[in-house]
A = this chain, B = another copy of it.
Amino acid sequence: MDSRPTVEVCFTPNLYPLHFDGSDIIVVIDVLRATSAICAGLSNGVEKIIPVATIEEAIEYRQKGYIVAAERKGKVVEGFNLGNSPSSWLNKELVGKTVVLTTTNGTQAIHTARRCKHMVIGSLINLDALVTYLHEKKKNVMLLGSGWRNKFCLEDTICAGAIAEGLLATGDFRSEEDSTIASKYLYLSARDNYLGYLKASSHRRRLRDLNLNEDIKYCLTPNTVDVVPIYKDGIITA
């Protein structure tokens, strides 16, 4: 009997009930762009992020005077000043502040896993910091992709594959699911050229049409920040 902790990939939030078996740590991933923005923001000095699932909740917070970021279909929602473009989260005016965030996919994935024991936020920009953190914990890990409206999404899967490979390569973790093997294979063939590999991906296409190429480049560049955002009782902090 192999007693090493497991690392497994769940592609999308709708598959969470099928995969969840009491995993100790859930890593929520939304590379383009919610979890990259969260990592960028906390690394910039944002104090707290409150993820909410709906625009209605976001409006309530705005009425109470909070800074609120809201994105749907790749765009800042009308009436809000901030979306999920990581560059906008690097603004110095956000240092020390609490920001409320709602996005099309990422905050939905956080919402799905909200009752788990321990949730952290993953992206390519905090890849090594996260792998080091998870390796030290030596607990069962589930890597949860946000997908696009519950459909499989390539960049989240590649990021999950990168985290899985980082842990499996130490020899201290094991995996059993085909979703994990596939994510690892996809990461291994993507890692030398993320931008080229993702050229045809539906999400990248969607963002490119919105002139968000700079955002894409930022989100696909590994290890530019050193934070591991942790979700607890409805709040994300570094």
Contact = CB atoms under 8 A, between A and B. Distances in A.
Given A14-B18, A151-B18, A189-B189, A157 B176 contact: no
A18 B202 CA distance: 16
Interface string A201-225: 1110000000000000000000000
A209 to B, nearest CB: 13
As for how many copies of this chain the complex holds, the number is: 2
Contacts of A200: 181
Nearest to A179: B152
Interface string A171-200: 000001111011001100100000001001
Contacts of A14: 15, 18
A19 B152 CA distance: 11
Nearest to A200: B181
Interface residues of A, number: 26
A150 interface: yes
A12 to B, nearest CB: 9
A202 B185 contact: no
B202 A182 contact: no
A23 to B, nearest CB: 15
A30 to B, nearest CB: 14
B176 A186 contact: no
A159 to B, nearest CB: 13
